[in-house]
C-alpha cells in the first residue's frame, strides 16, 4: 500500500515542493495510507520505522503513485542484497528485480500481473526476488507474509504467493489455511511454521532495508538496483530492463560470469536513500511546541529537556517505542520530562476512543498504567476491552464509562490532534525534544544523541541566568534557525494529458480557460485538507476556473465508496457540492445512517436518495471514474489535473496558482491583479 500515502503529501515536509510535481501515504495513518513520484522513495503513513531519520516528516496516507510512460528514471544504483529471500528465475539471469511488497496492498496485486508478463517475455534473462514489507495499516498483510514463508518451507512459496495476490481481499486465518490445503501442503507442519520466530526477523530485516533504501511504500521494485516505485505501466518496466540488459551484456562480453553480473552491478551501489547524489539530509527542524498544563507527563515539572510526544494507541510503531521511553526515564530521571499528546490517525478505527479512555484514566490518576495496558493490547481496543482495562486498574468504572459516554475528553483529543498537525506531527509517533522534531520509533541511541545536544543548549541558557522554571519558555523563544535545504535536482513534470470532464459534477463557467479535474476520496484526510485551498482558488480566479469532481475511493477506506455513491445521489437532486462539503466536514461519520442524516439536513428527497444507494445506481460511474483515474496515474488521493497537467496531494495554494498562472499566460488571459 499506503495505504503511503499518505502516504500524503503533507504541507509540513519537504515532500511537497511547489516547483516539482510529486506524488503524495497512508499512512495513512496513514494508511494509506499518499503516493510518491516514480523515481523517489515513498513512505507509509505511520512514520515509526526504526530507520526513520529525525528530520524526515511522516508519510502520506495513500499508496505509491505510478508515473507516466516517458518519465525519466533515476540512474542511481542501490546496493540491494538478495540474502535468503524467495527468488524465481535463473541465477544466471542478467536482470534481477527485487520487489518489496505487501499482500494486502491493491497496487501490489495489480503489479503482480505485470511481473508475471515480464517473466513470460524475458524468460531466463529475468530473475525476481521477493522482500516482505507488510504495511502497518494492512492488518492481514503480515499474517499473509508469514503464511507464504511457511509454504516456502515446503517448497511452495511462489504458488502460495500467487494465491495471496489472487485473493487479496480474503486473507483471514481460515482463508490462509484453505490456500495451504489447496496446494496440498502438510497443513499441520504449515501451522507450526507460522509460529517460527525467524519469520518475524526476516520481515523486520526486509522492512529495515526498505526504509534505508527509501522504499517504505508498496510496491517498490529495484531493477538491477534501480528504483521503480509503484504499480507502473509495463512499458516503464521494459524501458528500464532494456537499459539494464544492455549493461549486463556488456559486462558478460568483458569477462564477467553471468551469475556474477548482479553482484558486479550493485557492488558500488548506494546503501541508503539519503546518500543519493544531489541529495542531502534535511536540516534539523525546530518548532514552537506548547505543553498544556493538563497533559499527562512523567519526569520533573521543570526539566532541562522536555520531550512532547504525539502518539496513537493503535499505531504499532508507537507501541514499539515504549522500551526506549522507559530507558530515557531511567537514564535522565532528573533532567528529562516526557509529555504525551494524542494523534489518533483516521485509518485506525479504535484509536480515538482509546485516546479518550486514556484521558478518563488520567482523570483518576492512572494515565501511564492505562497507557501501558493499551500498548500491550493494541489489537484489543473495543469499548468492552477499554472497560476491562479500567476494571483491572481498579478505576471507578461508573465515572470512567460516563466520561466515554458523554465524550468528555473528545475535545481534548481533537485539540491535541490539531496542535500536532499545526507543528507537523501528522504521522506517529512524532517527538519534539525541546522543540526539535524527531520522527519515528528510533533506537535509544538516536534519542540520546539529541537529548545530550539539547542538554547542552539548556545548560548554556541556565548558565546565562535563565531560571529553571522559565527554561522551556525561553527555549521556545530562542529556537535555532534551520539552514535551508539544498535544492534537489529538478524532476520532469508528467506530460500533459487529455482529461475529460464527462458526467462529473462541475462548478464554474463552462467556458472557463482553466479546468481542474480532481480525483478524490471522501474518507481521505488529505482530500479534506485541500478543500479550503480550492475555495481560495475559486475566489481568486472567479470566472476563470471550473472544477470537476471525480471519484477515487481507496480500497482501505471502508466507507469511501458508499460516501461517493451518496454524493452522486445528492448530485442527482442538484446538491452535489453542498453534500460534498457535508462529507468532508464529517469524515469520521460516513456510515449509512450518517449519510442519510446529511441528506435530510439538505432537504433531499430521502426516498429517492435511499433508493439510489440500495440499487447501486451510481456504482458504474464511480467505477468508471476510478478506472480513469488509475489509467491517468491518479491512484493516490487527492490528484488534480489542471488543464491536463498533474498536481498531486494536498499542496498549498501557491502550487495550484503557479500552474494556473502559467496556463492563463499560455491562453493570453490577464488577471486584474496583473494588469498594468
Q: 510-530 pLDDT, tens per residue?
A: 999 999 999 999 998 888 888
Stretch 111-118: mean pLDDT: 93
DSSP 8-class letter at 485 = P
Is residue 604 a part of any domain in this protein? Answer: yes
pLDDT at 316: 83
Is residue 495 a part of any domain in this protein? Answer: no
Is residue 74 a part of any domain in this protein? Answer: yes
Question: Which comes out higher in pLDDT, residue 633 or 223?
Answer: 223
Using DSSP's 3-state secondary structure scheme, residue 550 falls into strand
Q: What is the sign of the dihedral through the CA atoms of 472, 474, 477 and 480?
A: negative
Per-residue confidence at 63, pLDDT binned at 50, 70, 90?
very low
pLDDT at 87: 95
Question: Which comes out higher in pLDDT, residue 36 or 396?
Answer: 396
Same domain, 533 and 634: yes
Distance of CA 470 to CAs 334, 335, 453, Å? 17, 15, 19
Per-residue confidence at 663, pLDDT binned at 50, 70, 90?
very high
pLDDT at 56: 31
* pLDDT over 70 at 26, yes or no: no
pLDDT at 43: 33
Is residue 633 a part of any domain in this protein? Answer: yes
pLDDT at 426: 73
Element (H or E) spanning 70, and its range?
Answer: none
Strands 220-223 and 297-298, by their bridges, are unpaired
Domain stop point among 251, 282, 313: 282
Is residue 80 a part of any domain in this protein? Answer: yes
Same domain, 442 and 524: no
* pLDDT over 90 at 410, yes or no: yes
Domain stop point among 249, 282, 315: 282
Same domain, 5 and 121: yes
Same domain, 268 and 301: no
Counting residues of the chain whose pLDDT is more than 70, the rounded percentage is: 83
Stretch 67-91: mean pLDDT: 75
The CATH number of whichever domain residue 571 belongs to comes to 3.40.30.10
* pLDDT over 50 at 51, yes or no: no
Stretch 628-656: mean pLDDT: 85
Domain stop point among 257, 282, 307: 282
Counting residues of the chain whose pLDDT is more than 90, the rounded percentage is: 60
Identify the CA nearest to 216 among candidates 200, 202, 229, 225: 229
Per-residue confidence at 672, pLDDT binned at 50, 70, 90?
low
Long-range contacts of 408-414 (CB under 8 A, 24+ apart): 408/356, 408/359, 408/360, 409/355, 409/356, 409/359, 409/360, 409/363, 410/352, 410/356, 412/294, 412/342, 412/359, 413/342, 413/344, 413/352, 413/355, 413/356, 413/359
* pLDDT over 80 at 491, yes or no: no
Same domain, 457 and 522: no
Per-residue confidence at 152, pLDDT binned at 50, 70, 90?
very high
Per-residue confidence at 282, pLDDT binned at 50, 70, 90?
very low
Q: What is the sign of the dihedral through the CA atoms of 137, 143, 148 and 153?
A: positive
Element (H or E) spanning 627, and its range?
Answer: helix 619-632
Read off the pLDDT of residues 586-596 as tens digits, 9 standing for 90 and up: 998 999 999 99
Element (H or E) spanning 180, and its range?
Answer: helix 173-182
Is residue 676 a part of any domain in this protein? Answer: no
Same domain, 274 and 307: no
Neighbours of 374 (CB within 10 A): 24
Same domain, 1 and 57: yes
* pLDDT over 60 at 396, yes or no: yes
Stretch 265-284: mean pLDDT: 60
Per-residue confidence at 277, pLDDT binned at 50, 70, 90?
very low
**Of 198-207, 271-280, 548-557, 656-665, where does mean pLDDT reach its minimum?**
271-280
User: Which grid cell is 98?
Assistant: 527485487
Check: pTM over 0.85? Answer yes or no.
no
Stretch 524-550: mean pLDDT: 92
Same domain, 73 and 118: yes
Is residue 482 a part of any domain in this protein? Answer: no
* pLDDT over 50 at 149, yes or no: yes
Question: Which comes out higher in pLDDT, residue 196 or 605?
Answer: 605
Most confident stretch, 367-371, 423-427, 646-650: 367-371
Stretch 291-307: mean pLDDT: 95
Read off the pLDDT of residues 373-387 as tens digits, 9 standing for 90 and up: 999 999 899 999 999
pLDDT at 161: 96
Chain mean pLDDT for the chain:
83
* pLDDT over 80 at 404, yes or no: yes
pLDDT at 441: 79
* pLDDT over 60 at 674, yes or no: no
Same domain, 411 and 452: yes
User: Which grid cell is 510?
Assistant: 463552462
Q: Print the domain residue range for 339.
A: 297-477
Same domain, 258 and 133: yes
Cα gap 398→500, rounded to integer Å: 58
Same domain, 210 and 135: yes
* pLDDT over 90 at 286, yes or no: no
Give the number of domains in the chain: 3
Same domain, 530 and 589: yes
Is residue 674 a part of any domain in this protein? Answer: no
pLDDT at 285: 77
Amino acid at each position: 500500500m499506503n495505504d503511503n500515502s499518505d502516504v500524503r503529501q503533507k504541507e509540513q515536509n519537504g515532500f511537497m515542493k511547489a516547483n516539482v510535481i510529486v506524488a503524495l501515504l497512508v499512512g495513512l495513518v496513514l494508511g494509506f495510507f499518499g503516493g510518491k513520484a516514480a523515481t523517489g522513495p515513498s513512505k507509509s503513513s505511520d512514520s515509526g520505522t526504526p530507520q526513520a531519520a529525525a528530520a524526515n516528516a511522516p508519510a502520506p496516507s495513500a499508496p505509491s503513485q505510478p508515473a507516466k510512460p516517458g518519465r525519466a528514471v533515476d540512474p542511481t544504483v542501490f546496493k540491494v542484497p538478495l540474502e535468503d529471500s524467495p527468488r524465481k528465475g535463473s541465477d544466471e539471469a542478467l536482470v534481477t528485480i527485487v520487489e518489496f511488497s505487501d499482500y494486502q496492498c491493491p497496487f501490489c496485486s495489480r503489479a503482480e500481473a505485470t511481473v508475471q508478463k515480464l517473466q513470460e517475455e524475458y524468460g531466463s534473462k529475468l530473475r525476481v526476488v521477493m522482500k516482505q514489507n507488510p504495511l502497518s495499516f494492512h492488518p492481514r498483510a503480515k499474517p499473509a507474509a508469514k503464511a507464504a514463508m511457511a509454504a516456502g518451507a515446503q517448497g511452495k512459496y511462489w504458488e502460495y504467493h500467487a494465491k495471496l495476490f489472487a485473493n487479496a481481499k480474503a486473507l483471514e486465518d481460515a482463508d490462509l489455511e484453505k490456500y495451504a490445503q489447496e496446494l496440498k501442503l502438510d497443513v499441520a507442519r504449515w501451522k507450526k511454521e507460522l509460529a517460527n520466530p525467524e519469520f518475524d526477523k526476516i520481515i523486520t530485516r526486509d522492512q529495515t532495508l526498505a526504509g534505508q533504501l527509501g522504499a517504505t511504500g508498496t510496491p517498490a521494485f529495484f531493477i538491477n538496483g534501480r528504483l521503480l516505485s509503484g504499480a507502473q505501466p509495463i512499458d516503464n518496466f521494459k524501458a528500464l530492463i532494456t537499459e539494464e540488459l544492455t549493461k549486463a551484456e556488456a559486462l558478460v562480453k568483458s569477462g564477467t560470469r553471468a551469475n556474477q553480473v548482479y553482484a558486479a552491478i550493485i557492488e558500488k551501489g548506494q546503501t541508503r536513500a539519503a546518500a543519493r547524489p544531489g541529495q542531502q539530509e534535511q536540516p534539523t527542524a525546530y518548532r514552537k511546541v506548547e505543553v498544556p498544563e493538563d497533559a499527562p507527563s512523567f519526569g520533573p515539572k521543570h526539566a532541562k529537556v522536555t520531550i512532547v510526544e504525539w502518539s496513537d494507541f493503535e499505531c504499532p510503531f508507537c507501541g514499539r517505542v515504549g522500551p526506549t521511553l522507559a530507558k530515557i526515564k531511567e537514564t535522565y530521571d532528573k533532567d528529562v520530562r516526557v509529555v504525551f499528546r494524542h494523534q489518533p490517525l483516521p485509518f485506525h478505527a479504535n484509536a480515538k476512543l482509546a485516546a479518550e479512555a486514556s484521558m478518563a484514566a488520567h482523570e483518576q490518576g492512572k494515565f501511564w498504567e492505562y497507557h501501558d495496558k493499551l500498548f500491550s493490547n493494541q489489537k484489543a481496543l473495543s469499548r468492552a476491552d477499554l472497560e476491562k482495562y479500567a476494571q483491572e486498574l481498579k478505576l471507578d468504572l461508573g465515572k470512567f464509562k460516563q466520561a466515554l459516554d458523554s465524550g468528555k475528553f473528545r475535545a481534548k483529543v481533537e485539540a491535541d490532534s490539531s496542535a500536532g498537525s499545526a507543528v507537523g506531527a501528522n504521522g506517529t509517533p512524532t517527538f519534539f525534544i525541546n522543540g526539535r522534531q524527531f520522527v519515528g520509533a528510533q533506537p535509544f541511541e538516536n534519542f540520546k544523541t539529541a537529548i545530550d545536544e539539547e542538554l547542552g543548549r539548556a545548560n548554556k541558557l541556565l548558565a546565562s541566568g535563565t531560571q529553571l522554571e522559565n527554561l522551556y519558555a525561553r527555549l521556545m523563544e530562542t529556537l535555532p534557525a534551520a539552514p535551508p535545504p539544498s535544492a534537489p535536482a529538478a524532476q520532469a513534470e508528467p506530460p500533459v494529458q487529455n482529461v475529460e470532464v464527462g458526467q462529473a459534477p462541475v462548478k464554474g463557467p463552462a467556458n472557463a480557460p482553466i479546468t481542474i479535474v480532481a480525483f478524490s476520496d471522501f474518507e481521505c484526510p488529505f482530500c479534506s485538507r485541500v478543500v479550503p485551498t480550492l475555495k481560495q482558488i475559486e475566489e481568486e480566479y472567479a470566472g476563470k476556473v471550473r472544477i470537476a469532481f471525480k471519484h477515487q475511493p481507496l480500497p482501505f477506506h471502508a466507507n469511501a465508496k458508499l460516501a461517493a455513491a451518496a454524493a452522486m445521489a445528492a448530485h442527482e437532486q442538484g446538491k452535489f457540492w453542498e453534500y460534498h462539503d457535508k462529507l468532508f466536514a464529517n469524515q469520521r461519520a460516513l456510515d449509512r445512517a450518517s449519510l442519510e442524516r446529511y441528506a435530510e439536513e439538505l432537504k433531499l428527497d430521502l426516498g429517492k436518495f435511499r433508493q439510489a444507494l440500495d440499487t447501486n445506481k451510481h456504482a458504474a460511474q464511480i467505477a468508471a471514474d476510478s478506472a480513469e483515474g488509475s489509467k491517468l496515474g491518479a491512484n493516490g488521493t487527492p490528484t488534480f489535473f489542471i488543464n491536463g497537467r498533474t498536481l498531486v496531494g494536498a499542496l498549498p495554494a501557491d502550487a495550484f496558482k503557479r500552474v494556473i498562472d502559467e496556463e492563463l499566460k499560455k491562453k493570453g488571459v490577464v488577471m486584474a491583479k496583473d494588469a498594468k
